[in-house]
Amino acid sequence: MNFAVGARTDVGRGRPANEDSVLVDHEDRLYAVADGMGGHRAGEVASATAIDALKAAFADGVPLDQAVVEANAAVFEKASGNLDLRGMGTTLTAAALLDDRRVLLGHVGDSRAYLMRDGGVTRITEDHSLVEQLVREGRLRPEEAASHPQKAIITRALGIDPEVEVDTYPLDLLPGDRLLLCSDGLTNMLTDRAIAGILRRQPDPQLAADVLVDMANEAGGDDNITVVVIDARHDSAADGVSSAAAPAAGVEEPTGEWPPFAEEEGEVAPEPPVPAEAETPRSRRGRRALAWLLPVILLFGAGFGALGWYARRTYYVGLAGERVALYRGVPGGVLGWDPTVEQRSGLIADDLTPAQRADLEGGHRFADRSEALRYLRRLEQELTPPPAPASSSTTVPPFGVVDPPDPKTPSTIR
């Protein structure tokens, strides 16, 4: 088998800079996406530092999981040594092609890896996020997770602590398999079903990467978008025979734990027999510890990084003076990250009902920008009188600022 790879990273439409980083290293056959976060563009530094350190360590012969640990140390050290970078962090999801069949994934954070096999697409990695933890514990339904106000809270990232626990997933690929690595700028814009459809329809890996990014942008492009598509292909007929003679499946027990993601949309996708371990006993232990520790961490502030991360990923609608406005950040600010006005509306406080006014004075929070924008538009429609006929050419336009194009809902992408 040989491999063909396509990759692309894009700033998207909602952010001033691209804080994602991507690694395409054909020489060492190492591929990765990293999604950085931190004030003053520290996210760019975090993701780039992690990728550089990962590549250097892996090229030196360090095993993948240990190379991710070294990437964590590199980001942590840089953050500790520079006030502007303090609190920065990054996700990292990496795939190392070990030989012509075996792949090892290393993973921390809420970037993701998916495997397409026989037309079915399965998510392999587990998000290290609060909502996914709540879903695992049965305290939140999967369909509630996507719109949960706290979906941006990450429970594990590189650069936050001197040590990090790395999830690893060994996979045996078969000819025709396709692996996708991506940042949440893709998965927050497109449903798993839409992603699967694109992966099935675009046989060329670079084209698939391009279309995924383009569709995420068309759906709003709220965040930076990074994708890597890795295809496992037959070398030749002879190679195909030898692969068939030594089937990869059965080397390790499939866990069957990964739901095919068409499930929530009602589509029945063939579930591929993924030979891999979802997690090591060590990572299970760690997760139990994390479940216990998380409230403590969040309450007592040892999770500075997670909070800062949250602050930069959260949006709210509030009052800027007397004017209704869309803010990025958390009302009142957190850890030195003050909220910033993203957009001012034509509405003023006097237009609001007393209840709305009280709500907005406290800041009405949303998990992402497009939800906050939708709410703002609803308010504007509700409270702005319809344009009167002819004579009222002086009517104030309902919006103080021109909005970006209306984000399409992911469900329009079929």
Binding site for Mg ion (CB under 5 A): 35, 183-185, 223
Closest CB 184 distance from Mg ion, rounded Å: 4
Closest CB 151 distance from Mg ion, rounded Å: 12
Closest CB 96 distance from Mg ion, rounded Å: 23
Is the CB of residue 108 less than 8 Å from the CB of residue 159? no
Secondary structure of the chain: what % helix, strand, coil (to 5)? 35, 25, 40
Q: How many CB atoms lie within 10 A of CB 158?
A: 32
Closest CB 15 distance from Mg ion, rounded Å: 9
Q: Which is nearer to Mg ion, 48 or 232 (CB)?
A: 48
Q: Which is nearer to Mg ion, 20 or 65 (CB)?
A: 20
Closest CB 149 distance from Mg ion, rounded Å: 17
Q: Per the structure block, which two tokens stand in for 326?
A: 């869309």
Q: Which is nearer to Mg ion, 34 or 319 (CB)?
A: 34
Q: Which is nearer to Mg ion, 184 or 351 (CB)?
A: 184
Q: How far apart, in whole angstroms, are the C-alpha atoms of residue 89 and residue 83?
A: 14
Is the CB of residue 249 less than 8 Å from the CB of residue 275? yes
Q: How far apart, in whole angstroms, are the C-alpha atoms of residue 405 and residue 14?
A: 11
Q: Which is nearer to Mg ion, 11 or 207 (CB)?
A: 11
Residue whose token pair is 């004030």 = 39
Q: How far apart, in whole angstroms, are the C-alpha atoms of residue 120 and residue 200?
A: 9
Is the CB of residue 181 less than 8 Å from the CB of residue 113? yes
Closest CB 310 distance from Mg ion, rounded Å: 13
Q: Which is nearer to Mg ion, 76 or 309 (CB)?
A: 309
Q: Which is nearer to Mg ion, 101 or 328 (CB)?
A: 328
Alpha-helical (H) ranges within 301-398 are 304-313, 354-362, 369-383
**φ, ψ (nearest 5 deg) of residue 174:** -115, 155
Closest C-alpha among 412, 320, 319, 410 to residue 370: 410
**HEC readout, 100-123:** CCEEEEEEECCCEEEEEECCEEEE
Q: Which is nearer to Mg ion, 91 or 356 (CB)?
A: 91
> CB within 8 A of 406, min separation 6: which ones?
none
Closest CB 215 distance from Mg ion, rounded Å: 16
Closest CB 195 distance from Mg ion, rounded Å: 15
Q: Which is nearer to Mg ion, 287 or 312 (CB)?
A: 312
Residue 169: which H helix or E strand, with range?
strand 167-172
Closest C-alpha among 226, 229, 230 to residue 97: 230
Whole-angstrom distance between the N-terminal and C-terminal Cα of the chain?
31
Closest CB 180 distance from Mg ion, rounded Å: 16
